[in-house]
Structure 1
Amino acid sequence: MSRTLEAMLSKAADPLLLLGRFLLALIFLHEAVTLATGFAASAAAMSKVGVPPYVLVLTILLQLAAGLMVALGWHARLGSLSLGLFCLATAFLFHSNFAVRNELLHFEKDLAIAGGLFVLTATGAGALSLDRAFGRRQLLRYAA
């Protein structure tokens, strides 16, 4: 890679991390609001697969809290790790009927989102984050 291209990418790293954090967080924040505003219907759908309503409450709280952590860059590594593990669990628990093409697609998307979240866990939120703005130490650190 040329030094010019490397320098350009280096300058773009923090804005790209911010954009990536927002895009990753968006799906979880939107889903949390959707589940909360349609709680009865969501609880009924989840009960059909054996998931009790309290797990729905925990799911909403996880998606809201960790989604905001990722978006704002406040302990983003912890938030992204939590959501990455959540995506893996969702993929294997709810989208494992590969005979149905749509289920396979959801499985693969959950794995891809988890992968992006694990990359964020390894890299951290970057300079454009609340942790960096307030000089806070992150709960999880990658020891390089």
Structure 2
Amino acid sequence: MTPTELAEKLHARDVVLLAGRLLLSLIFVHEGLELATHFEGAQKAMAALGVGTPLLVATIALQLGAGLSVALGILARLGAIGLGLFCLMTASLFHTNFASQNELLHFEKDLAIAGGMFILALSGAGRLAVDRVLIEMMKGRAGSKSETEAAPSESHLSAAGTSLPV
């Protein structure tokens, strides 16, 4: 497919979904990298909040894994659900001192990000996603096999439009 053909097939929806995925995932990938590269400092700061090392490691894995999942469009729906739930838990566990304007702001931002993640989980990653490319490649291979050899293709969670009942 030439770049011109690709541009003709792209729709504004897919470009907006890509931009939204990248913007939503940026904070998680960045924070995951910061925690990982400054592990000892993060470990001390988290211990002061009552968070042990295993939960810190799980947080880093979730932020990097699900953040990249959303950004790249690989199992983006699952990554978005994981990060949405993470934001709800973070808001309710760490940002409930509403007497502090800063804490209230962090609480509200966590809720807003969770909302964006849940919307992404419903809408899917769109056409500009690694999942979509992999499915198209698999369809191409299946199409080149004979009828008896071709395996049925299954749509992926984040590959198409909303497949969830709404």
* Same fold, judged at TM 0.5 (above): yes
Q: Deviations over 1:75-107 (max 9, x none)?
A: 100000000000000001010000000000000
Amino acid of the residue matched to residue 137 of structure 1?
Answer: H
Q: Report the CA distance between 1:141 and its aligned residue.
A: 4.7
Looking at CA atoms only, which structure, 1 or 2, has the larger radius of gyration?
2
Q: Work out whether 1:24 is the aligned partner of 2:24.
A: yes
Distance across 2 between alignment mates of 1:64 and 1:84: 14
Q: Which residue of 2 aligns with 1:37?
A: 37
**Structure 2 alignment gaps of length 5 or more:** 1-9, 136-154
CA–CA distance in 1 between the matches of 2:55 and 2:18? 30
User: Separation in 2 of the partners of 1:48 and 1:24?
Assistant: 28
Shift of 1:143: 3.1
Trace 1:1-144 onto structure 2 (pairs within 5 A). Answer: 11-135=11-135, 137-138=156-157, 141-143=163-165
Distance 1:35 1:141 in 2: 35
Q: Give the C-alpha shift of residue 132 in structure 1.
A: 1.2
- Residue by residue over 1:43-76, the C-alpha shift from the partner in whole angstroms, topping out at 9 and shown as x without a partner, is 1111112111111000000011001110011110
The runs of 5 or more residues in structure 1 that have no matched partner are 1-9
Give the stretch that moved more between structures: 127-136 or 113-122: 127-136
Q: 1-side partners of 2:115 and 2:165: how far apart?
A: 19
Q: How far does residue 111 in structure 1 lie from its aligned partner after superposition?
A: 0.3
- For the aligned residues, what is the CA RMSD? 1.7
Equivalent-residue separation in structure 2 for 1:13 and 1:141 (angstroms): 16
| Letter in structure 2 aligned against 1:138 | L
Deviation, 1:134, is: 1.4
CA–CA distance in 1 between the matches of 2:46 and 2:55? 9
Query: Which structure has the highest helix share of the two?
Result: 1
